């Protein structure tokens, strides 16, 4: 994804601050949010930076529900828009995630996962929102869920989140955890040209020919900014090609199927993973977020101890990258899934396992990270 | 696959380097470092997290090391335990938290007592000698950072930076100029001078009272205890 490197300025940044660098590099010009630990630095940093971006708008809203509303509105008006939150705020945003999915509104939502349900552990890491990110809003809907494990990845995956949102006209959820968000590391500040940047397709036909939700080759209809002369009706009700409510079965089915197909057809583009020594592995660790960093060290130590261990880091969590996971389940005698919850992604691994191998989970829910030695014990 | 990340080889790599360099002071530019783990700890409100940021930024940008700086704090605005962990290495760092510490800085009695057990054999404990009344070990370095800040800088809030000055002196691979630069870029103008003063004070006091910077242990005397304590499968840091 990166073009040849030019000279870069270095900075020592938090994961949260790196998210902002990525968002601005991707062309984000609108942020609306409500602060909550451990995501607050994203908002603070946006408040500092957006006023210096051409036409940049930063809004502190009265709560997370209003924040999502503002972000959806800004996106419909043509902006690349985002918000960030954590557990309790993420729950408040669920209804409108569904609205964004139904109206095919591109946006990026960063959820920095903390520990526990409800108010839980505000300053401790967790990974308990994985299933909520996929299924938190009601009804069948496609969605893209990404994650990042370190500070440079926070830049990269935020750019990716915006690109996917724009390319596929869908809300994209970027799941971080308190550790990734609050770790400082050195990064090269992104320069124009470092990343390939996508923007939504806009209609080119005369306005009177335009049908907002018409079937297209890619399944992603072009999207004009509201107010540009194209008639564009938006509703959360099931709608026809013109965007008006319908309950005619063939139109309802066509809409839902197209919404799924526009994501399904591009799994190869969307499902991002990193393989570390999986080619000859007998034991594979499947991890994401901060736990992937513990796993990286554990796998290296296991190799030193003579165990043929490998690591699959999931950068895309949904749609679940089964094309990468399945072959490993067939070739390895053991798969270990460490995560900071009671077993949310391991459900998906078990779902696609179909008896190929043994799937062992490591679950930690005490607000602490899973250590390399905890993983090493299971694989060595 | 030489495992620069494993603590085992980390210790060895660092030691080999120290042998080559003969334990000189401060001139750490370009010194190879495998995995050096530092914990700064104290109470919320003492500026522990700022200290971690300043130190990490200096080591990452000024010295060119890979650094991860993580933090752990309670929901309280003041009081409550606060700590910042740094891992410093010449190679990319996988696990960002610390497991066993090379240097522990404790600015409260509670911190010294709770984290002392994570020190490696021959790791260094640096405390605020007036706030840590009972050191968990006889082998420690102490300076009255809070009193120095209050009396000689005139601002008790500069305690963390006085301690940072002492750390800059103690770390054989750190350079004080890079620390100063980090301070100047990270802090707002109006408190800059007081903080540079605090940094220099900490550095000078450390030089006066501690004699030598940290010398990383001699490989000959250390091998065995290392082997026992650093058995990889035995590590169960509860971080």
| CB–CB contact A376 B232 (8 Å) | yes
More confident residue, A64 or B31: A64
The confidence band for B232, taking pLDDT boundaries of 50, 70 and 90, is very low
Q: Is the pLDDT of residue A81 over 80?
A: yes
In chain B, pLDDT over 70 holds for what percent of residues? Answer: 77
**HEC letters along A119-155:** CCEEEEECCCCHHHHHHCCCCCCCCEEEECCCHHHHH
Q: Which residues of A9-24 are buried (b: 16+ CB within 10 A; e: fewer)?
A: eebbbbbbbbbbbbbb
> What is the full DSSP assignment across chain B?
---TTSHHHHHHHHHHHHHHHTT-SS--TT---S-EEEEEEEETTS-HHHHHHHHHHIIIIIS--EEEEEEEE-S-SSSSEEEEEEEEESS--SS-S-SSEEEEEESSHHHHHHHGGGEEEEEEEEEETTT-SS-SSSS-EEE-HHHHIIIIIS-GGGHHHHHHHHHHHH-TT--HHHHHHHHHHHS-GGGHHHHHHHHHHHHHHHHHHH-SPPPPPPHHHHHHHHHHHT-GGG-----
Q: Per residue in A349-364, pLDDT tens?
A: 999 998 999 999 999 9
Q: Is the pLDDT of residue B20 over 50?
A: no
Average pLDDT over residues A169-175: 98
Q: Per residue in A176-224, pLDDT tens?
A: 999 999 999 999 999 999 999 999 999 999 999 999 999 988 999 999 9
Cα–Cα dist A62/A82, whole Å: 16
Cα–Cα dist B50/B164, whole Å: 10
pLDDT for the residue A8: 84
CB pairs under 8 A between A and B: 100
Q: Give me the residues paired with residue A174 across strands.
A: A110, A146
Cα–Cα dist B239/B228, whole Å: 21
Average pLDDT over residues B233-239: 41
List chain A residues with CB under 8 Å of B234.
373
Q: Is residue B90 a part of any domain in this protein? A: yes
Are A108 and A172 contacting, i.e. CB atoms less than 8 angstroms apart?
A: yes
List chain A residues with CB under 8 Å of B118.
none
A8 in contact with B, Cβ within 8 Å: no
| CB–CB contact B72 A123 (8 Å) | yes
A262 in contact with B, Cβ within 8 Å: no
Q: Do A18 and A158 reside in the same domain of the chain?
A: yes
DSSP for residue A53 = S
| CB–CB contact A371 B236 (8 Å) | yes
Say which CATH number the domain at A52 has: 3.40.50.970
Q: Is the pLDDT of residue B2 over 50?
A: no
Q: Is the pLDDT of residue A78 over 50?
A: yes
Range of the domain at A85: 10-188
Q: Is residue A175 a part of any domain in this protein? A: yes
Q: Is residue B2 a part of any domain in this protein? A: no
CA-closest candidate to residue A295, choices A279, A316, A274, A280: A274
Cα–Cα dist A137/A126, whole Å: 20
Q: Is residue A245 a part of any domain in this protein? A: no
A 10 A CB-CB count for B96 gives: 26
| CB–CB contact A185 B69 (8 Å) | yes
Are B104 and B79 contacting, i.e. CB atoms less than 8 angstroms apart?
A: no
pLDDT for the residue B235: 42
| CB–CB contact B75 A368 (8 Å) | no
Q: Is the pLDDT of residue A32 over 50?
A: yes
Are A110 and A19 contacting, i.e. CB atoms less than 8 angstroms apart?
A: yes
List chain B residues with CB under 8 Å of A184.
52-53, 56-57, 67-70
Range of the domain at B39: 7-211
More confident residue, B124 or A2: B124
pLDDT for the residue B5: 40
CA-closest candidate to residue B62, choices A182, A186, A151: A186
Q: Is residue B170 a part of any domain in this protein? A: yes
B157–chain A nearest CA distance, Å: 23
Cα–Cα dist B21/B27, whole Å: 10
Average pLDDT over residues A38-43: 98
Q: Is residue B227 a part of any domain in this protein? A: no
The minimal CB distance from A371 to the residues B57, B71, B237 is found for B237
ipTM metric = 0.90
**Number of folded domains in chain B?**
1
Average pLDDT over residues A314-323: 97
> What is the full DSSP assignment across A194-232?
SS---------S-GGG--TT---SSS----PPTTSSS--
Q: Per residue in B28-70, pLDDT tens?
A: 446 788 899 999 999 988 999 999 999 999 999 999 999 999 9
A376 in contact with B, Cβ within 8 Å: yes
Mean pLDDT score across all residues of chain A: 96
Final residue in a domain of this structure, among A165, A188, A211: A188
Q: Is residue A241 a part of any domain in this protein? A: no
**Number of folded domains in chain A?**
2
The confidence band for A4, taking pLDDT boundaries of 50, 70 and 90, is low
The minimal CB distance from A122 to the residues B75, B99, B236 is found for B75
B123–chain A nearest CA distance, Å: 21
pLDDT for the residue B104: 97
Q: Per residue in A97-135, pLDDT tens?
A: 999 999 999 999 999 999 999 999 999 999 999 999 999
Q: Is residue A168 a part of any domain in this protein? A: yes
DSSP for residue A245 = B
| CB–CB contact B68 A301 (8 Å) | no
Q: Per residue in B3-17, pLDDT tens?
A: 334 333 333 333 333
Task: Round the CA-based radius of gyration of chain A to a whole number and report it.
Answer: 21
Q: Is residue B177 a part of any domain in this protein? A: yes
Q: Do A153 and A298 reside in the same domain of the chain?
A: no
Say which CATH number the domain at B162 has: 3.40.920.10
Q: Is residue A260 a part of any domain in this protein? A: no
CA dihedral sign, ordered B81, B87, B93, B95: negative
Phi-psi region of A100 (alpha: psi -120 to 50; beta: other; left: phi over 0): alpha
Final residue in a domain of this structure, among A155, A188, A221: A188
Q: Per residue in A274-283, pLDDT tens?
A: 999 999 999 9
Cα–Cα dist A300/A2, whole Å: 27
> What's the whole-model pTM score?
0.90
Mean pLDDT score across all residues of chain B: 81
Q: Is residue B29 a part of any domain in this protein? A: yes
Q: Give me the residues paired with residue A358 across strands.
A: A334
**Residue A252: which H helix or E strand, with range?**
helix A249-264
More confident residue, B2 or A287: A287
Q: Could you tell me which chain A residue has the CA closest to the CA of B6?
A: A301
Q: Is residue B132 a part of any domain in this protein? A: yes
End-to-end CA distance of chain B: 26
DSSP for residue A239 = B
Q: Do A19 and A159 reside in the same domain of the chain?
A: yes
End-to-end CA distance of chain A: 35
Q: Is residue A239 a part of any domain in this protein? A: no
B139 in contact with A, Cβ within 8 Å: no
Q: Is residue A142 a part of any domain in this protein? A: yes
Final residue in a domain of this structure, among A151, A172, A188: A188
Q: Is residue A39 a part of any domain in this protein? A: yes
């Amino acid at each position: 994804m990166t073009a040849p490197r030019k000279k870069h300025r270095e900075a020592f940044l938090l994961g949260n601050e790196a998210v902002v660098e990525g968002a601005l590099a991707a062309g984000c010009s609108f942020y609306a949010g409500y602060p909550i630990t451990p995501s607050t630095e994203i908002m603070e940093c946006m408040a500092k930076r957006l006023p210096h971006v051409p036409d940049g708008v930063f809004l502190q809203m009265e709560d997370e529900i209003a924040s999502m509303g503002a972000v959806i509105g800004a996106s419909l008006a043509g902006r690349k828009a985002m918000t960030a939150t954590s557990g309790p705020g993420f729950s408040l945003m669920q209804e409108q995630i569904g609205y964004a999915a139904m109206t095919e509104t591109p946006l990026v939502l960063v959820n920095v996962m903390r520990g526990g349900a409800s108010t839980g552990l505000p300053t401790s890491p967790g990974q308990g929102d994985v299933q909520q990110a996929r299924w938190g809003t009601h009804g069948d809907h496609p969605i893209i869920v990404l994650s990042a494990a370190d500070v440079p990845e926070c830049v990269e995956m935020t750019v990716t989140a915006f690109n996917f949102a724009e390319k596929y006209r869908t809300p994209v959820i970027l799941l971080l955890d308190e550790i990734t968000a609050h770790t400082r590391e050195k990064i090269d500040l992104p320069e124009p040209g470092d990343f390939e940047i996508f923007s939504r397709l806009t209609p080119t036909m005369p306005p009177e020919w335009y049908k907002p939700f018409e079937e297209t080759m890619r399944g992603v209809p072009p999207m004009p900014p509201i107010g540009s002369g194209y008639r564009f009706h938006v509703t959360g009700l099931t709608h026809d090609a013109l965007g008006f409510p319908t309950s005619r079965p063939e139109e309802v089915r066509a809409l839902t199927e197209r919404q799924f197909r526009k994501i399904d057809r591009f799994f190869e583009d969307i499902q991002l993973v990193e393989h570390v020594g999986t080619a000859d592995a007998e034991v594979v660790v499947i991890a994401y977020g901060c736990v992937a960093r513990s796993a990286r060290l554990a796998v290296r130590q296991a190799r030193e101890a003579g165990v043929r261990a490998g690591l699959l880091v999931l950068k895309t969590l949904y749609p679940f990258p089964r094309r990468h996971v399945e072959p490993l389940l067939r070739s390895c005698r053991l798969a270990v899934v460490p995560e900071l919850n009671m077993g949310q992604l391991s459900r998906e691994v078990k779902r696609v396992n179909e008896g190929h191998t043994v799937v062992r989970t490591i679950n930690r829910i005490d607000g602490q990270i899973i250590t390399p030695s905890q993983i090493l014990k299971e694989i060595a | 696959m030489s495992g620069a990340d494993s603590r085992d080889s980390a210790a060895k790599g660092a030691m080999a380097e120290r042998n080559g360099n003969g334990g000189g002071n401060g001139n750490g530019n370009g010194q190879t470092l495998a995995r050096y783990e530092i914990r700064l700890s104290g109470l919320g409100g003492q500026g522990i997290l700022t200290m971690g940021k300043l130190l990490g930024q200096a080591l990452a940008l000024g010295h060119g090391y890979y650094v991860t700086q993580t933090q752990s704090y309670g929901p309280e605005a003041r009081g409550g335990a606060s700590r910042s962990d740094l891992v410093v290495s010449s190679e990319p760092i996988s696990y960002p938290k610390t497991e066993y510490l090379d240097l522990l800085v404790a600015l409260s009695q509670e911190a010294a007592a709770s984290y002392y057990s994570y020190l490696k054999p021959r790791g260094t404990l640096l405390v605020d000698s007036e706030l840590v009344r009972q050191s968990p070990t006889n082998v420690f370095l102490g300076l009255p950072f809070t009193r120095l800040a209050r009396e000689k800088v005139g601002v008790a809030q500069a305690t963390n930076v006085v301690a940072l000055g002492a750390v800059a002196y103690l770390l054989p691979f750190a350079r004080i100029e890079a620390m100063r630069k980090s301070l100047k870029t990270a802090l707002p103008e109006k408190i800059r001078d007081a903080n540079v003063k605090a940094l220099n004070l900490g550095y000078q006091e450390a030089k006066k009272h501690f004699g030598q910077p940290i010398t990383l242990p001699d490989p000959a005397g250390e091998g065995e205890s290392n082997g026992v304590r650093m058995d990889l499968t035995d590590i169960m840091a509860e971080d």
